Amino acid sequence: MKPVLTLALARATFDVPFAEDLAQRAFAAADRTGLPTIGPRELLFDADSARAAIAGIDPASVSGVLLIQATFTDATMTVEIARAFAGTPIAIWAFPEPRLGGRLRLNAFCGLNLAAHALQRAGIAHGWLYALPEASHIVEFLRDLAVPNQARRSRQRLARPLDDTVKAAAERIDARLGGRRIGLIGEHPVGFDTCRYEPEALVALAGIAVAPIPLDETFARARAVPDTAIAARRLKAARDYEGLDSVDPAQLGRSLALHAALEDIARERGLDALAMRCWPETFTEFGCAVCGPLGMLTEAGTPCACEADVYGALTALLMQEAAGSPAWLVDIVDMDTASDTAVLWHCGSAPLSMRDPEAAARAQIHSNRRMPLLAEFPLKPGRITLARVSQARNRPLLVLGSGEVLRAPKSFTGTSAVVSLKGGIAPALATLVDEGIEHHLAITYGDQRDLLEAWAGHRGLPVLDLTA
């Protein structure tokens, strides 16, 4: 029997000891099946170590490739390895993590999301698993490595015909979107195919133009913000967030200066939404987090997308128009079939109006980079709509879903919500990964599905039901 090339991918900014423990448990689970494996058994943190791990291995000598997604990573090495072993079955195994109220230690599901999207767009079929190493179906998964999950039929469909009132409302939204401008500050991180965009396609899709703005220019504007403007924002933030005095004051000042600069740039250039490269440069070059300021701008009516996700900004702008209230871009970081709930999360960028009134909003530092300003609070209970103007499978479509935010203990630091999805977690999980949906979805409160679907029909976009 030919061995399976098994590699564990990770990023050093997450909880490395926890990831190492899970990876070793996964290797042990593979050993218990009797499946022969080759490859190093340590975590691979960068492209050089991953390339060294596959150097000299003849693709014909292995029966498959198993990538253990020990933490979040971008999709660069996943796609490179898949292409190096073209024609060999490939699968990705990501781990859930406990909801303990602390930092997001692995964020492995997001890594699986990015990988699935990138492989789909590259035309590479793959299998996948989202489970702990002790799960009962590991043996079946490993034996079926050669059977890609997304061999299933695509769930995309045409938009439903809706009544004239809804269609007219959707056409009004479309007319308001026409001519809007999204400010693109910096470029999306390498390996984030989920954030790719083409300017001409965006104009054709929604009549939206993109205004590129260099990241250095934004930093220069922030450095020139007067101390008086920073002080005024500090006073307001002290009213909005508890614990502001507990964060580093110099870093806080830089974060508030970025808020002022972004606000000025948006006003002066007539920008309706922002898509910003939020890491690593805001931390490594400017010395603060921009998560809190992005949430403040979203609350004030300029929806913001992190990681320079232009289609994410478009989605949030569309949903804000539909709902008449803020829309927030989230990661799905946990899908638990046992409790039939998911966790929607971001570092700390939720608009304040989404806060659960029974919980305080607290000033917080970034869980990995240890800098302010982030907001920390759970979202308020209520009905939500989820959506994404997506490029999955290299075709524009509208992803739609609905659910209910539940009042629950804090899952992770930052801003988050525990949600029950219509139709259940298991089918939504399968749809996300099988279809290669982007790792960012937008949410807003209320039931906006019909209005958004009517907009998709007006634009000729197919629809994918995440929570059918």
**To 10 degrees, the CA torsion angle through 452, 458, 460, 462?**
20
Asked if residue 42 lies in contact with residue 76, where contact means CB atoms within 8 angstroms, the answer is no
Range of the domain at 18: 4-151
Q: Are residues 267 and 379 in the same domain?
A: yes
pLDDT at residue 160, as a whole number: 85
pLDDT at residue 385, as a whole number: 98
Q: Two tokens at 367?
A: 């869980």
Q: Are residues 253 and 296 in the same domain?
A: yes
pLDDT at residue 155, as a whole number: 73
pLDDT at residue 151, as a whole number: 46
Distance CA 64, CA 81 (A): 12
∠ Cα 25 26 29 (to 5°)? 90
User: Which CATH number does the domain housing residue 135 bear?
Assistant: 3.40.50.10940
Quote the pTM value: 0.95
Backbone angles phi, psi at 447, to 5 degrees: -100, 100
Q: Are residues 269 and 396 in the same domain?
A: yes
Q: Are residues 304 and 450 in the same domain?
A: yes
Closest CA to 177 of 294, 391, 322, 323: 322
Closest CA to 6 of 44, 48, 56: 44
pLDDT at residue 154, as a whole number: 65
Q: Are residues 217 and 293 in the same domain?
A: yes
Distance CA 285, CA 115 (A): 28
Closest CA to 16 of 42, 49, 51: 42
User: Which CATH number does the domain housing residue 265 bear?
Assistant: 3.20.14
Secondary structure element (H or E) that encloses residue 8, with its range: strand 4-9
**pLDDT tens across the length of the chain (468 residues):** 899 999 999 999 999 999 999 999 999 999 988 889 999 999 999 999 999 999 999 999 999 999 999 999 999 999 999 999 999 999 999 999 999 999 999 999 999 999 999 999 999 989 999 999 998 888 788 777 655 554 455 678 788 888 899 999 999 999 999 999 999 999 999 999 999 999 999 999 999 999 999 999 999 999 999 999 999 999 999 999 999 999 999 999 999 999 999 999 999 999 999 999 999 999 999 999 999 999 999 999 999 999 999 999 999 999 999 999 999 999 999 999 999 999 999 999 999 999 999 999 999 999 889 999 999 999 999 999 999 999 998 999 999 999 999 999 999 999 999 999 999 999 999 999 999 999 999 999 999 999 999 999 999 999 999 987
Asked if residue 414 lies in contact with residue 347, where contact means CB atoms within 8 angstroms, the answer is yes
Domain's final residue, options 151, 176, 203 = 151
Helix, strand, coil % over all residues of the chain, rounded to 5: 40, 20, 35
Q: Are residues 369 and 319 in the same domain?
A: yes
SS3 219: helix
Asked if residue 272 lies in contact with residue 180, where contact means CB atoms within 8 angstroms, the answer is yes
pLDDT at residue 150, as a whole number: 45
The DSSP call for residue 161 is: P
Closest CA to 176 of 324, 385, 300, 351: 324
N- to C-terminal Cα separation, the chain: 41
State how many domains the chain has: 2
pLDDT at residue 143, as a whole number: 74
Asked if residue 210 lies in contact with residue 202, where contact means CB atoms within 8 angstroms, the answer is yes
Q: Two tokens at 100?
A: 């303990």
Closest CA to 367 of 11, 99, 13: 13
Closest CA to 336 of 75, 195, 131: 131
C-alpha Rg value of the chain to the nearest Å: 22
Q: Are residues 125 and 170 in the same domain?
A: no
Q: Are residues 389 and 300 in the same domain?
A: yes
Distance CA 453, CA 174 (A): 12
Q: Is the peptide bond before 280 cis (omega within 30 degrees of 0)?
A: yes
Q: Are residues 19 and 137 in the same domain?
A: yes
Domain's final residue, options 151, 180, 212 = 151
Q: Are residues 123 and 185 in the same domain?
A: no
The DSSP annotation for 25-91 comes to: HHHHHHHHTT--EES--SEE-SHHHHHHHHTT--GGG-SEEEEEE-S---SHHHHHHHHHTTTS-EE
Distance CA 98, CA 412 (A): 9
The DSSP annotation for 319-372 comes to: HHHHHSS--EEEEEEEEETTTTEEEEEESS---GGGB-TTS--EEE--TTT--S
Asked if residue 3 lies in contact with residue 63, where contact means CB atoms within 8 angstroms, the answer is yes
Domain's final residue, options 121, 151, 181 = 151
Q: Are residues 33 and 102 in the same domain?
A: yes
The DSSP call for residue 397 is: E
Q: Are residues 144 and 168 in the same domain?
A: no
pLDDT at residue 145, as a whole number: 67
pLDDT at residue 153, as a whole number: 56
